[in-house]
C-alpha cells in the first residue's frame, strides 16, 4: 500500500501573511519526502478561503525542484475550467520538470462559484470534462491534431512540442464517489480515487472488484490501482480528536455549502455554518484513518484487504499551526506505515 500526503490548503488563520502560508506548504512537502511518504498531492480550487490551491501545477513545480523521490499529484485538476491545449502543455512541462514523477488526478468539479468565476456552466461539467481529457490525450500522442467539438475547436492542426516524460502520459486518476463513476474510470483506463469515508470495507471491496472487472473487460491490462482519500490523524494514548475534528468539520461544512450554492462565500470567506444532520465526532470520523496508532493500523489494513492500493492522507486537520501537521505526519510515518505492507 502506498501512502500519499494530500492538501487542500484551507485558509483559516487570516492573520497569517499569504507568503508565510505558502512557506508552510513546502515544510509539509519536505516532511513528506524525508519521512518516507510515497507522494504529495494538491487540490485545485478557486476564489474562496476553503482552499488557496488555485495554482497546483505551479506549486508542484516548486515541490519537484526541492524533492527527488516522492510522486507529485494533482487531486484534482478541474478540467472543465481548463483549455485542453494549455492543460496538456502545462501537465507535460511539470512531468518533465519532475523527471516523470507526476500523478495526474482529474475531476469534473462541483462548486458553482468556481464555474461562475471562469464563465463556465456547471450543468455541462461532465461533457466538458470528457471532451477536454480526450483532447489532452490526443495532444500528447498525436501530431497535427484538429478538433471540432461542443466546447473546444482546433481549426488549424496543433502539434505539441512539449510532451510528457512518462509515455504515453502520466498515470491519470479520476475523482469519484460512486460505483458508476468508478466503472466509467475503468472504461477510460483511469485509476479511481474515492473521496471521503462514506463507504465501509465491504462497499469498498465491491467497488475495487467492479473496477478491476470493468478495466479488464475494456481491454486495459496494466496495473490496477485504486485510491481512497481519508482524513488522517494519529494521537497518543489518552489523547483527543476534539481539535482535529473541529478543523475537519469546518472543511466539510464549507465543501457542502460550496456544493449547494453559488452564494456560499461572502467576500471570499466560505460559509462554515453547521448543518442540522451532522454526526457526533466519533461517527463522523469512524471510517477515516484517525485514532491511536494501533487503531489506524487496523483501519489501513482493512482498506488494503478491500483492494485499495493508494491512500491519500488528508493531514491538515491537525493544524494550524503547521508544526501540528508535521507532528501528526511523523507519528503516522513512524507508527503506522512500518506496520502496513506497502511498496515504493
- pLDDT for the residue 266: 98
- pLDDT band, very low/low/confident/very high, at 96 (cuts 50, 70, 90): very high
For the whole model, what pTM was predicted?
A: 0.97
Count the alpha carbons within 13 Å of 310 in the hemisphere toward its beta carbon: 25
Best CA proximity match to 132, nearest among 65, 93, 84, 85: 84
Best CA proximity match to 78, nearest among 41, 31, 142, 125: 125
- pLDDT for the residue 195: 85
- pLDDT band, very low/low/confident/very high, at 222 (cuts 50, 70, 90): confident
Q: What is the Cα–Cα distance from 235 to 238, expressed in whole angstroms? A: 8
For strand 39-42 and strand 269-270, is the pairing parallel, antiparallel, or unpaired? unpaired
Q: Model confidence over 114-131: pLDDT tens digits?
A: 999 999 999 999 999 999
For strand 153-158 and strand 145-148, is the pairing parallel, antiparallel, or unpaired? antiparallel
At residue 19, does pLDDT exceed 90?
Answer: yes
Percent of the chain with pLDDT over 70: 99
- 234 beta partners: 291
Place of cell 506497502: 342
Over the range 263-283, which residues count as b (16 or more CB within 10 Å of their CB) and which as e? ebbeeeebbbeeeeeeeebee
Q: Model confidence over 37-80: pLDDT tens digits?
A: 999 999 999 999 999 999 999 999 999 999 999 999 999 999 99
- pLDDT for the residue 174: 98
- pLDDT for the residue 343: 42
- pLDDT band, very low/low/confident/very high, at 200 (cuts 50, 70, 90): confident
Contact status, residue 1 vs residue 342, Cβ threshold 8 Å: yes
For strand 2-7 and strand 39-42, is the pairing parallel, antiparallel, or unpaired? parallel
Contact status, residue 4 vs residue 71, Cβ threshold 8 Å: yes
Q: Nine-digit cell at 323?
A: 508544526
Domains of the chain by residue range? 2-339
2-339 under CATH 3.40.50.10310, yes or no: no
- pLDDT for the residue 342: 52
At residue 344, does pLDDT exceed 70?
Answer: no
Best CA proximity match to 307, nearest among 223, 222, 181, 219: 223
Contact status, residue 115 vs residue 80, Cβ threshold 8 Å: yes
Amino acid at each position: 500500500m502506498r501512502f500519499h500526503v494530500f492538501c487542500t490548503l484551507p485558509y483559516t488563520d487570516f492573520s497569517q501573511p499569504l507568503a508565510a502560508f505558502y512557506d508552510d506548504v513546502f515544510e509539509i512537502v519536505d516532511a513528506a519526502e524525508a519521512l518516507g511518504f510515497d507522494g504529495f498531492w494538491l487540490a485545485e480550487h478557486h476564489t474562496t478561503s476553503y482552499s488557496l490551491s488555485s495554482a497546483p501545477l505551479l506549486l508542484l513545480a516548486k515541490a519537484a525542484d526541492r524533492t527527488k523521490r516522492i510522486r507529485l499529484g494533482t487531486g484534482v485538476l478541474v478540467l472543465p475550467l481548463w483549455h485542453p491545449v494549455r492543460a496538456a502543455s502545462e501537465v507535460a512541462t511539470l512531468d518533465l520538470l519532475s523527471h516523470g514523477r507526476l500523478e495526474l488526478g482529474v475531476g469534473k468539479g462541483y462548486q458553482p462559484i468556481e464555474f461562475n468565476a471562469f464563465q463556465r456552466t456547471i450543468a455541462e461539467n461532465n461533457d466538458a470534462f470528457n471532451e477536454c481529457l480526450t483532447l489532452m490525450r490526443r495532444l500528447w500522442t498525436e501530431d497535427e491534431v484538429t478538433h471540432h467539438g461542443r466546447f473546444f475547436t482546433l481549426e488549424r492542426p496543433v502539434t505539441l512540442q512539449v510532451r510528457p516524460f512518462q509515455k504515453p502520459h502520466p498515470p491519470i486518476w479520476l475523482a469519484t464517489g460512486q460505483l458508476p463513476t468508478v466503472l466509467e474510470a475503468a472504461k477510460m483506463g483511469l485509476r479511481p480515487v474515492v473521496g471521503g469515508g462514506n463507504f465501509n470495507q465491504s462497499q469498498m471491496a465491491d467497488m475495487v472488484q467492479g473496477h478491476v472487472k470493468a478495466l479488464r473487460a475494456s481491454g486495459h491490462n496494466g496495473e490496477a490501482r485504486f485510491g481512497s482519500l481519508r482524513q488522517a490523524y494519529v494521537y497518543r494514548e489518552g489523547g483527543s480528536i476534539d481539535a482535529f475534528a473541529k478543523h475537519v468539520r469546518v472543511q466539510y461544512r464549507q465543501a457542502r455549502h460550496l456544493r449547494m450554492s453559488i452564494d456560499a462565500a461572502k467576500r471570499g470567506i466560505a460559509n462554515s455554518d453547521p448543518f442540522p444532520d451532522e454526526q457526533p465526532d466519533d461517527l463522523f470520523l469512524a471510517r477515516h484513518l484517525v485514532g491511536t496508532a494501533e487503531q489506524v493500523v487496523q483501519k489501513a489494513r482493512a482498506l488494503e484487504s478491500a483492494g485499495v492500493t493508494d491512500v491519500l492522507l488528508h493531514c491538515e486537520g491537525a493544524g494550524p499551526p503547521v508544526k501540528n501537521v508535521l507532528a501528526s505526519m511523523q507519528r503516522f510515518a513512524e507508527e503506522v506505515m512500518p506496520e502496513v505492507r506497502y511498496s515504493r
